[in-house]
């Protein structure tokens, strides 16, 4: 029994000893592996240190060569460098300061008010306003314009004019709303509602005219401004000489070209076709002649209209003898051939009137002179004659004549007083005197477009 116990103990001891020997060997191997890794790390670090030392030496060599070869930056050079920097920065600051501000993205807005007092000793049947004394706000206009994008510009004009049939209430109406191109070479396409450049003064708003009243011949043949809804192309011919050709198609032109009533069909022949050629000659620096020919045609044989216009403008703008002393002579001559319906009264109230198609041919025009004495004062006369082409006006003598004298005083570019006297001789032989005192102001955004030259 003792022997078996001793043998078991010896076996266990031998087993433990064997296990201990295995453990030591494993630990020794692990230690050896760690030592190898450590040695590798040390070797790598040594390589890094050697590399850094080499680089430092290289840099030291470079620095040494720089300090020995390159000139030392002097104090004046440093000042110059700082000045150049300051100049660059200030230039940039000026550029930024003069840059358009964010609110410049809004449209430009301008306005005009045109008021007048009128005295008229004729019959109310000859005019739109009552005879006698009359104060009127002739127009209150709001103009907005802006670039749309790199390709188009747009503008809109709202104008409120008094309506005598509604107790002189002045409701704003859309006078112009147009879009035009800005990116085409030598040409501009315009569309919407606008005043077509028929003749010289017909496209100009009332308050921008050189006189208070629109020439009666233009008023009779066109009917106010040459407003139309349509599209127009204006091209500047790329030659040495100024030659502008314009063509367009419109529903109508002005109030005297009646619009096709609602419910009727408008064919191409019922539209109004507009063409114009304008040229100009300079004689030295002081004299300019402009000559233009315009045509408005409605081809429909039943309501045919053929209105031709020839405009001549002479401008004398002497240089250096006094600011804005100048002279303008403007003339427009028209030939108006139209076919329309004439009412023939029966003479008996129980019998209805009869209608007939008539053709009427009329000639008319005006000529005026405006002499700008200085920056404040300008004076001039105007004569206007036209044959009345109203199919319902049958008189032995259908020539209407108006002789005008006007004097304007400009306080500045934006405010003006004007006195105008008109002597009328009507087709029925009656005569009348008319006088205006006009007070006009403009404010807000203001542009000088080519048409107002």
Partner 1 sequence: MKRTTFLLALVSVFAGLHAAAGASEQSGRKLKVIASIPDFADMAREIGGAHVEVESMANGTEDVHAVAVRPSLAAKLARADVLIEMGLENEHAWLPALVEVCSNQKIQPRHQGDIIASEGVVPKDVPVNVGRKEGEQHPAGNPHVNTGPDMGPLMAQNIAKGLIANAPEYKADFEANLAKYLEKIQAKEKEWKAAAAALKGVKFVSHHPDMAYLADFLGLEEVGTVEPKAGIPPSSSHTAALIEEMKTKGAKIIIREPQYSANLANEIAAKTGAKVAKLAVMVGGVPEAKTWIEMIDYNIKALLEAIKG
Minimum distance between the CB of residue 238 and partner 1, rounded to whole angstroms?
Answer: 4
Report, in Å, the least distance between residue 278 CB and partner 1: 7
**CA dihedral of 140, 146, 151, 156, whole degrees rounded to 10:** -20
CA dihedral 211, 212, 215, 219 (to 10 degrees): 150
Minimum separation from the CB atom of position 231 to partner 1 (A): 11
Looking at the Cβ atoms of 125 and 185, the one nearer to partner 1 is 185
CB closer to partner 1 out of 235 and 358:
235
Interacting residues with partner 1 (CB under 8 A): 90-91, 94-95, 98, 182-188, 233, 235-245, 247, 249, 268-269, 273, 275, 278-282, 285, 288, 290, 297, 299, 315, 317, 319-324, 326, 374-376, 412-414, 443, 447-450, 452-453
In angstroms, give the least distance from the CB of 296 to partner 1: 12
Residue 391 is given by DSSP the state T
C-alpha span between 12 and 21 (Å, rounded): 14
Minimum separation from the CB atom of position 411 to partner 1 (A): 8
Q: What token pair was written down for 270?
A: 């019922």
Q: How near is the Cβ of 281 to partner 1 at its closest, in Å? A: 8
Comparing CB distances to partner 1, the nearer of 158 and 245 is 245
* Nearest approach, Cβ of residue 236 and partner 1 (Å): 5
Residue 418 or 424 with smaller CB distance to partner 1 = 418
Report the residue number, 85 or 452, with the smaller CB distance to partner 1: 452
**How far apart are the C-alpha atoms of 358 and 189, rounded to whole Å?**
37
Q: Which is nearer to partner 1, 270 or 428 (CB)?
A: 270
Nearer to partner 1, 128 or 240 (CB): 240
Residues 410, 441 contacting (CB under 8 angstroms):
no
Q: What's the closest the beta carbon of residue 408 comes to partner 1, in angstroms?
A: 13
What does the block give as tokens for 227? 């407003």
Residue 196: CB minimum distance to partner 1, A: 14
The residue among 18 and 323 lying less far from partner 1, judged by its C-beta, is 323
| Cβ closest to partner 1, residue 179 vs residue 233 | 233
């Amino acid at each position: 029994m003792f022997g078996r116990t001793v043998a078991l103990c010896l076996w266990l001891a031998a087993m433990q000893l064997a296990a201990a020997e295995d453990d030591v060997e494993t630990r020794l191997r692990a230690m050896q592996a760690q030592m190898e890794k450590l040695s590798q790390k040390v070797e790598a670090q040594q390589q890094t240190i050697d590399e850094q030392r080499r680089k430092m030496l290289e840099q030291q060599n470079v620095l040494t060569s720089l300090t020995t070869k390159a000139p030392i930056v002097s104090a004046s050079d440093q000042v110059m460098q700082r000045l150049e920097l300051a100049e660059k920065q200030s230039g940039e600051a000026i550029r930024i300061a003069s840059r358009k501000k964010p609110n410049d993205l809004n449209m430009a807005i301008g306005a005009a008010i045109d008021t007048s007092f009128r005295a008229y000793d004729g019959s109310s049947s000859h005019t739109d306003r009552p005879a006698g004394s009359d104060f009127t706000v002739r127009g209150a206009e709001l103009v907005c314009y802006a670039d749309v994008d790199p390709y188009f510009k747009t503008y809109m004009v709202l104008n409120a004019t008094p309506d005598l049939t509604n107790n002189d209430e002045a409701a704003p109406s859309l006078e112009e709303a147009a879009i035009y191109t800005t990116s085409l070479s030598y040409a501009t396409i315009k569309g919407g509602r606008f005043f077509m450049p028929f003749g010289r003064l017909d496209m100009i708003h009332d308050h921008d005219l050189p006189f208070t009243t629109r020439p009666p011949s233009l008023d009779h043949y066109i009917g106010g401004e040459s407003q139309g809804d349509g599209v127009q192309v204006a091209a500047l011919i790329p030659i040495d000489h100024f030659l502008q050709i314009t063509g367009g198609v419109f529903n109508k032109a002005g109030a005297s070209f009646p619009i096709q009533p609602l419910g009727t069909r408008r064919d191409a022949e019922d539209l109004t076709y507009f063409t114009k050629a304008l040229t100009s000659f300079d004689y030295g620096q002081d004299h300019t002649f402009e000559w233009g020919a315009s045509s408005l045609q409605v081809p429909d044989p039943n309501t045919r209209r053929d209105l031709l216009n020839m405009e001549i403008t002479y401008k004398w703008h002497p240089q250096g003898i006094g600011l804005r002393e100048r002279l303008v002579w403007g003339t427009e001559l028209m030939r108006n051939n139209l076919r329309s319906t004439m009412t023939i009264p029966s003479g008996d109230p129980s019998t209805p009137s009869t209608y007939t198609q008539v053709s009427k041919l009329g000639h008319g025009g005006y000529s005026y002179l405006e002499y700008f004495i200085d920056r404040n004062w300008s004076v001039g006369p105007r004569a206007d004659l036209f044959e009345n082409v109203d199919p319902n006006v049958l008189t032995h003598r259908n020539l209407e004549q108006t002789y005008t004298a006007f004097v304007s005083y400009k306080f500045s570019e934006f405010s003006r007083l004007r006195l105008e006297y008109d002597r009328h001789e009507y087709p029925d032989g009656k005569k009348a005197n008319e006088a205006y005192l006009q007070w006009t102001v403009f404010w807000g955004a203001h542009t000088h477009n080519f048409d107002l030259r």
